Amino acid sequence: MTAAALADVLDAAPPSAMADTMATYGRATRVQLDHYLGAQPPAPYLDDLLADYPSRGGKMLRPSICIANARAFGGELETAVRCAAAIEILHNGLLIHDDIQDGSELRRGRPTLHALHGAPLAINAGDAMMFTALRPLIDALRPLGGETAAQVLDISMNMARETAEGQALELGWRDRNITELTEADYFRMALKKTAWMGMIWPAQLGLVLGSGGRADPQSVVRFGYFLGVAFQIEDDLRNLSVDPGYGKEMNGDLFEAKRTLMLIHVRQACSDAERARLDAFLGLPREARSPDEVLWLVAMMQRLGSIDHAREVAAAMAGAAAHEFDRAYGALAPSADRSFIAGLVPWIFARP
Amino acid sequence: MTIRKGKAGDAGRVRRPEAGAGRAPNRASAAAAAKPAKATAAASKAKASKEANVSDAVAHAVKVGYDVIAENIRQGREAAERFRQGEYRLRDAPGDLEVASHRLLRLARELSTTTFDVCERLLKELGDQRAPPDRTTEVPRFRDSAPFATVKPSQSASAAPPGPAPLKVTVRFEGAPKAISHTDALTRPRLPTAASGVTSAPLAPSGGRGAPITDVRFELDASVDGIVAIVSPPKGQATGVYSGIVHAKGDPLPLGVLTIELLK
């Protein structure tokens, strides 16, 4: 089944409508970002850094998920958009830290913040953004009462813990050169590192806000999880393609020895001699990994079906997400926002 | 994971397929979704066998995927249950969590005073509105957690916990250039109460002569501690001292008296 056919089955928004909705919700979120990031008198070495990453654009996927869920569950844009701003500020703060941890040089086509200003100032800016995110969150929660606020804090703290665990897994595997990994390990990492912050939490926040605390935030966990895993696999696949995405380096994940589904598969599929060579490659520092060895690894992934396998698993995870969509959102009345959420599944593969 | 062997391809480049083409599966069965829609007549028996292996591998991946999320949800429920029943102790958590928690607290203190105040105010406000049962006697208060603070000798573990702290009140005047408040605290409501649930009787003038001030409302403001009272005296309101009893919604006992003074 193609993405378009799946969209029909799901009553999902077509790609053009997805783009329009993200643009609309993105604009509304940016107004709030400007308000909250510009609320203080400009502080030297800080506020310019805080405004940098949000000014570079981005798909505004997370804020859009939050707002669409809030509206689908009966909420108002005005309240949801503050929550969306909190998500985006926190996300950008985490990106700053991620770039330092990964030693990344580019973010959205431009030098990373630590490359421009040095790691100490960049870390400080990331810290400030994570705490600045509390302000729009508090403003969004104030009218909702203590019980709902406590529920939001509960799911937010859970997200923070899951995300930190996921990041720790990925960094730990790389830094300790852990090679004996399984598909389950990868799914667990993708759940924690990608899905929780990127899909589950924004959906949960929107659901709680929109329903006034009456809907169960657990109901969207499985949908967000499968959506997030499919998204992560597709992201990893695109990194190996001739068009890895805006501002990204082709095969950059291999230079970083990132533990992707393809890497886990190929290591299990290859011969003993190839595995020894692969492990030696993975044990090198990043700067010592040569382009020739990276090309050898890509060729081996193709030869042993690792890339095809990952592509098929991504499609299957998208199918699981579609299945879980019905369970999470099937009882809601049809609406543009419900169609937008359904449209996220085929959008994973159709996104620019 | 089922492994399949394939033909060697061009090194270094994998072409991104057309968006969505042949990739999104049937929702009825996620595992079956990855199976090819139908085998072409030209497909060889060997190829069909290989495809079947692929489908098995993908079906297995989906099963593993469901196992992972089921395990995660189970762990989450257990953790939530511990929190809800007040059984949670920091020392029960793994060592790395304890270290991480202390690091987070230290980080919060190293950040600007403003952002830290926001966090603490949020925690306070929530605590004021929904105090969890029993935890106050079992878990050290946030501010008193070692090693960042020391407990005074007089605060022994067996000492009775102090009563609820007064609710701070900041009075703001609209339309009255010269006015002061003589009230800076009220009794904390006994039930969870939103700011809009706090009301004041009209502020009557001292001595009973003159018109009362009827426009008094209460709000929360993250920039100040406690609650904010907004008093809007009408234009031409006589100077003098005014006061009114403050109530919380659903509570017959008053929280105190709000007293202000309009100056010349």
Return the pLDDT at B105: 53
Residues A187, A191, A193, A194: is their CA dihedral positive or negative?
positive
* Band of residue B208 on the pLDDT scale cut at 50, 70, 90: confident
Question: Between B76, B119, B222, which is nearest A158 by CB?
Answer: B76
In A189-208, the residues whose Cβ lies within 8 Å of chain B are: 191
3-state secondary structure of B243: strand
Interchain pair A2, B20: CB under 8 A: yes
Alpha-carbon span A230 to A348, nearest angstrom: 7
Interchain pair B4, A3: CB under 8 A: no
Q: Does B250 touch chain A (CB under 8 A)?
A: no
Q: Does the pLDDT of residue B82 top 90, yes or no?
A: no
Most confident of A155-159, B143-147, B194-198: A155-159
A and B: number of Cβ contacts within 8 A: 228
Q: Give the least confident one: A51-60, B9-18, B191-200, B201-210.
A: B9-18
Q: Does the pLDDT of residue B111 top 70, yes or no?
A: no
Alpha-carbon span A314 to A348, nearest angstrom: 10
Mutate to test the interface with A, among B2, B10, B23, B228 (most CBs of A within 10 A): B23
Return the pLDDT at B126: 54
Number of domains forming the structure of chain A: 1
Domain hosting A207: range is: 3-350
In B132-151, the residues whose Cβ lies within 8 Å of chain A are: none
Alpha-carbon span A215 to A226, nearest angstrom: 21
Residue A85: partners with Cβ closer than 8 Å, 6 or more residues away: A29, A32, A33, A35, A36, A63, A133, A136
For residue A151, how many C-alpha atoms fall within 13 Å in the half-sphere facing its CB?
21
Return the pLDDT at B96: 47
The structure tokens 């290591």 sit at A267
B52 contacts in A (CB within 8 Å)?
none
Alpha-carbon span A223 to A225, nearest angstrom: 5
Q: What is the pLDDT along chain A (352 residues), one digit of tens a residue?
A: 555 555 555 667 887 889 999 999 999 999 999 999 987 788 999 999 999 999 998 889 999 999 999 999 999 898 899 999 999 999 999 999 999 998 888 888 899 999 999 999 999 999 999 999 999 999 998 888 888 888 999 999 999 999 999 999 999 998 899 999 999 999 999 999 999 999 999 999 999 999 999 999 999 999 999 999 999 999 999 988 766 565 566 778 898 899 999 999 999 999 999 999 999 999 999 889 999 999 999 999 999 999 999 999 999 999 999 999 999 999 999 999 999 999 999 999 988 7
Percentage of chain B exceeding pLDDT 90: 14
Task: Identify the CA nearest to B195 among candidates A133, A209, A141, A213.
Answer: A141
A271: domain CATH number is 1.10.600.10
Considering the entire predicted model, what is its pTM? 0.64
Return the pLDDT at B7: 38
| Average pLDDT estimate for B195-210 | 86
Residue A153: partners with Cβ closer than 8 Å, 6 or more residues away: B122, B126
What six digits make up the tokens of B11? 């090194």
* Band of residue B248 on the pLDDT scale cut at 50, 70, 90: confident
